[in-house]
Structure 1
Amino acid sequence: MLKLPAPAKLNLTLRILGRRADGYHELQTLFQLLDYGDELEFSARADDVISVDAGELDVAERDNLVYRAALLLRKEAKLAGEKLPGAHIRLIKKLPHGGGIGGGSSDAATTLLGLNHLWRCNLPMDTLAELGRQLGADIPLFVRGHTAWAEGVGEKLTPVITEKRHYLVVSPGCEVSTAKIFHDSRLTRDSVAITLAALREGQLTETPLSSEKLEAFSGNDCQALVESLHPEVRDAREWLEQFAPAQLTGTGSCVFTAFQTEQAAKSALARLPRKWQGFIANGIQVSPVHQKLAKLTSRD
């Protein structure tokens, strides 16, 4: 059995520049990986069946991104002449569904990476990222496994290094539909583009982006619309504001704020109203999936 993490992400900034001819949106975002997330267990099967145990997650198997990622990977491997067995995948959910912290996307990416290792497909990272892109715009981030500046629909990734910060992430308990947000006529779609060079101005490329820089370019163009549709998201963000500037992540329901020390984050979490759930996570640069697979590969 192979057990791998599926880390969460935050959008430290999210700017929507416009709608493309294909219906998708041109955006710019800074993805921050976290050291907290779901877990997946992979076991080979003697037959050719792919089965998924998603626990209490109320999603039909055919719609589950883990199942779809496994099918897509096997199809790609078969095109290369590989005859592959089945697999059983157990998903251990910790991240809220529809929270905007990448739960489903990260699960799918870990599935692609995990089965590529388990089945010994040896597909290159570019191929796995392209398979992920076919399933969701955020998946290539998790496949490539590095905190990154993203453009396009989120697939054009440039790895960046950020200053270590401790995040308190709060889930107000509602589920936000990404499709509904992006189809709403009230969504801001005319933000002015910025550049990674502007984000790095005054800092060397290899120097971590400071908290001052990250806060100067923070914000989320989806926040006003999400809060108008889900007032509980606004309530959670305003509660967090007593500690430090807070904002929405992605197009989900989770809001977050950053602390310089873990103790400060823990103190805030201890005061969290019982009607909400929250967790503390550190910002990391490299996905723990890649770190674990690298160790396993070195032993082979």
Structure 2
Amino acid sequence: MNAPLTLPAPAKLNRMLHIVGRRDDGYHLLQTLFQFIDLCDQLTLTPRSDGEIHLISEVSGVSHDDNLVVRAARLLQTHSGTPLGATLKIEKQLPMGGGLGGGSSNAATALVGLNHLWQLNLPLVELARLGLRLGADVPVFVHGHSAWAEGVGEQLTKVMLDTPWFVVIHPGISVSTPSVFQDPQLTRDSRPITMARALKGGAPEWRNDCEAVVKERYPPIAEAFHWLAQHAPSRLTGTGACLFATFETQQTAQATAQLAEQYWPTWVARGLNTSPLHAALGF
């Protein structure tokens, strides 16, 4: 009953991101391709019989009760009516404000992991609906597969993408997603495309509509982008700050990463179609 469960909370990349409209409530309508990479935070979940939810690791700038992991655990607890609680611990590797989905992934791992640990047996589609209340990116992490996404990012269709090696650079700053989406210069009227066309890849479909605004607002990102683009086709993920470039082999990726890490935090990661979270739980 008291045995802890340690699970990965993987990063995602937006292989492309188009903004095709805006809803009356201010949320933007997107078309994007989500892909997981093998760069992960780690969550350790330990069940409690007293019904308490405690996060024992601090996350800079985020209060205990506002942390998405705590909110996810309490949401699942309330929804299911379980009398059980949990002690939660996060080992962070993914940068905050990096566009890698770290907070959303942490929340999804809490939902999926506690569903398993508390033996609730709720289906993934139900967990994804709960996760959407925490953030638009949470459902893709709950479902755990590369996906074509529309709406605000919650309308998901499972896809298979190529699985190259990626060099991921974090330019050392955090990007405010709301400020990017509120920028008057942001492209909001890209012509919608079909999933089939998106899956063919290549320019102009595989682009990120946030890139121009982000590079203008954050010169360190523009500098890193210029550097990385000289080595391989490069793109912003989400609203940034992280950039990524694709490589066919691990060796070529590592060679570029060794150069980049002289200036910025840099990782080499493999593209995945199945989330490491789902692999860990045998889904």
TM-score normalised by L of structure 1? 0.90
Q: How do 1:6-21 and structure 2 match up within 5 A?
A: 6-21=9-24
Which amino acid in structure 2 is aligned with residue 276 of structure 1? W
Aligned counterpart, 2:70: 67
Q: What is the alpha-carbon distance in structure 1 between the residues aligned to residue 104 and residue 279 of structure 2?
A: 19
| Amino acid in the other structure paired with 1:160 | V
Q: Which of 234, 244, 269 does residue 222 from structure 2 map onto? A: 234
State the distance in 1 between where 2:67 and 2:202 align.
34
* Distance in 2 separating the partners of 1:84 and 1:114: 16
1:288 deviates by: 1.3
User: In the alignment, what sits opposite 2:163?
Assistant: 164
Q: Is the 8 A contact 1:12 1:218 kept in 2?
A: yes
- Tell me the secondary structure at the aligned position of residue 87 of structure 2: strand
Go from structure 1 to structure 2 and tell me whether the alpha carbon gap of 1:146 and 1:215 turns closer, same or farther (over 3 Å shift): farther
Letter in 1 for 2:115: N
| Counterpart mapping for 1:189-208 below 5 A | 189-200=188-199
Structural mapping, 1:83-232, within 5 Å: 83-200=82-199, 213-214=201-202, 217-232=205-220
Q: Distance in 2 between matches of 1:143 and 1:191?
A: 28
Question: Any idea what the Cα deviations from partners look like across 1:240-264, whole Å, max 9, x if unmatched?
Answer: 0121111111012000100000000
- Take 1:54 and 1:227, find their aligned partners in 2: how far apart are those partners? 33
Report the CA distance shift for 1:123/1:196 in structure 2 as closer, same or farther (over 3 A).
Answer: same
Please state if 1:248 is matched with 2:236. yes
Give the count of matched residue pairs: 280
CA distance in 2, matches of 1:173, 1:2: 32
SS in 1 for 2:260: coil
Counterpart of 2:55 (choices 49, 52, 55) is: 52
Q: Which amino acid aligns with 1:107?
A: N
Give distance in 2, aligned partners of 1:62 and 1:255: 30
Which stretches in structure 2 are left out of the alignment for 5+ residues? none
Distance 2:56 2:172 in 1: 23
Counterparts of 2:150 and 2:17 in 1: how far apart (Å)? 10
Q: Aligned to 2:273, which of 285, 289, 294?
A: 285
Contact kept? 1:26, 1:151, Cα under 8 Å: yes
Distance 1:134 1:56, change over 3 A: closer
Distance of 2:279 and 2:126 partners within structure 1 = 19
Cα distance change, pair 61–32 in 1 and its aligned pair in 2 (3 A): same
| 1:44 CA drift (Å) | 1.1
Q: Is the 8 Å Cα contact of residues 106 and 139 (structure 1) preserved in structure 2?
A: yes
Q: Residues 112-154 of structure 1: CA distance to partner in whole angstroms, max 9, x if unpaired?
A: 0000011111111111000110110000000000011100000
Deviations 1:1-55 (A, max 9, x none): 1010001000110000111112111110011111111010000123211011234
Question: How far 1:215 moved relative to its partner?
Answer: 5.3
The unaligned stretches of length 5 or more in structure 1 are: 201-208, 296-300
Distance 1:56 1:274 in 2: 26
Contact 1:9 1:101 in 2 (8 A): yes
Residues 169-207 of structure 1: CA distance to partner in whole angstroms, max 9, x if unpaired?
00001100111111222211010110012234xxxxxxx
How far, CA to CA, are the matches of 1:168 and 1:137 in structure 2?
Answer: 25
Partner SS state of residue 160, structure 2: coil
Partner in structure 2 of residue 298 of structure 1:
none
SS in 1 for 2:175: coil
Identity of paired residues, percent?
Answer: 49
Backbone CA RMSD of aligned residues = 1.3
**Aligned with 1:100: secondary structure?**
coil
